[in-house]
Structure 1
Amino acid sequence: MIPHKPRAVLLATSLLLTGCGAGAVAAPRDQPAAPARTTTAPPRPTATAPPLPQRLPGLGPETLAEVPAATRQAVVVTGHGKDSARSDVVLYERTGTGWKAGEHWPAHNALRGWSGHHRAGDLRSPVGVFTLSDAGGLRPDPGTRLPYDHGRGFTATGTGVEGEPLAGSFDYVIAIDYNRRPGTSPLDWTRPLGAGRGGGIWFHVDHGGPTQGCVSLSREHMRTLLRTLDPRRHPVVVMGDAASFAR
């Protein structure tokens, strides 16, 4: 590191190197020297960040009305189309100046896309705004603030809808509070709306193909989401295709 020199020393050194009288024109002895001209550099513009959105982007008034006023974390899952099995996930954090977006993560949803009236076995993910209350997994708690149920009940077996192995899919899960009782393990099978309306809708580890109704993320992104969600910030998921959001 170059030691700091006082400004006066640096200026003197510069003048010695360049020749302090080079190019100067001496005034005649019988004429006063012209007054020195001074210039003031214009102020440099200050870069300012664009203002944060006051509302969650892409959501229409009906959808926004479903987001609780106390919510400060919103996981927005936007399907690529009503019948698409692919989606994008963004975690928004509400600050004093608006909603701040995090990274965009690719995800899978149900094979046949989305439904505003999900039924058991329809191979569509439910559209709506749902709270996120509980987590769990086959692997130990990675450091989440959510209640975490760790046990062998999360062992995934068999294959997915396209024949891919499901092993490891439930290493980490976050229960989406659709047709379930918040405050219980994701493995609790209580269905307040009845068994015909489906259930067991989770965030879980991606297995390389569409799901039966859940939303799946890479292992790394699941761990990040688990560590970030904070029940004191009343997290929710907003999920569906973009057209459904716009209501």
Structure 2
Amino acid sequence: MRNRLVVLLMVLGVFTAPATASAAAGSLPLPYTGDANQVITVVAANPTATTATLIAWKRTATGWVAQLGPLKAYVGSGGIGQASEGSTKTPAGVWALTEAFGHHPAAGRLPYRQVDTSDWWVSDVNSAHYNTPYRCAPGACPFNEAAGENLGKVGRAYDRAVVMNYNRSPVVKGAGSAFFLHVSTNQPTAGCVSLGRPQMDAVLNWLDPAARPVINIGLG
């Protein structure tokens, strides 16, 4: 069964030999000292790069082993660094991956919401709901709808998405909101990380909440 899975992932372009070879030393390409057993690394060449290399790693008794990748990912049009509301930088650092959403029915093992036009991500810095999901009918929401994302109205990018827990506990108003790992539109993002649809599906199916997965974003 495992051999058939590897063959399928190779066909989809989400598993390649170089990633396994790079994992021989059992270490990650970015510093990490947490207790997650699944880590997705996103490494850009420099602070202004708008593409990065994404690899999904599993902790084993002998070190870290690459399981998906290396994959081409898009990051923010402002590169990688300190994010803030209104910037287009992807936030550098380590962020938990605890939930997912999308236009399509549930997939994978993370808690998942199938969204429609009553689902929002609040980016109104004056709202008590800043940087949280909220459900309300358009025109009847208790926040500035223009300063938020109607998740159901976003195109294919949100066919599948995983929430990055950046600025969520505690929430700092103005530090930035709505950062996701989502389907690529083949261009830099507004601060999220994106992958091609087959690769995104593979990552979503790989993520296991019991492994306390995180995404680790930085420069290499």
Q: Could you state the TM-score of these two structures normalised by the residue count of structure 1?
A: 0.63
**Displacement of 1:205:** 0.6
1-structure distance, mates of 2:25, 2:52: 22
2-structure distance, mates of 1:96, 1:111: 38
Q: Secondary structure at the match of 1:87?
A: strand
Residues 143-222 of structure 1 aligned to structure 2 (within 5 Å) = 144-152=108-116, 153=119, 154-157=151-154, 167-180=155-168, 192-222=170-200
**Displacement of 1:50:** 9.6
Figure out how many residues of one structure are paired with residues of the other and give that number: 166
Are 1:99 and 2:25 an aligned pair? no
Go from structure 1 to structure 2 and tell me whether the alpha carbon gap of 1:50 and 1:118 turns closer, same or farther (over 3 Å shift). closer
Q: Secondary structure at the match of 1:196?
A: coil
Which structure has greater strand proportion? 2
Q: Note the aligned Cα RMSD (angstroms).
A: 1.8
Corresponding residue number in structure 2 for 1:234:
212
4+ aligned runs moved over 3 Å, structure 1: 49-52
Residues 122-161 of structure 1 aligned to structure 2 (within 5 Å) = 122-142=87-107, 144-152=108-116, 153=119, 154-157=151-154
List alignment gaps of at least 5 residues for structure 2: 1-20, 120-150
List alignment gaps of at least 5 residues for structure 1: 1-48, 158-166, 182-191, 243-247
**Displacement of 1:195:** 2.7
Looking at CA atoms only, which structure, 1 or 2, has the larger radius of gyration?
Answer: 1
Using CA pairs under 8 Å that are at least 6 residues apart, name the structure with larger relative contact order, 1 or 2.
Answer: 2
**Displacement of 1:196:** 0.6
State which of 46, 51, 54 in structure 2 corresponds to 1:86. Answer: 51
Q: Which amino acid aligns with 2:113?
A: D
Q: Deviations over 1:169-194 (max 9, x none)?
A: 1010000010125xxxxxxxxxx332
Q: Could you state the TM-score of these two structures normalised by the residue count of structure 2?
A: 0.71
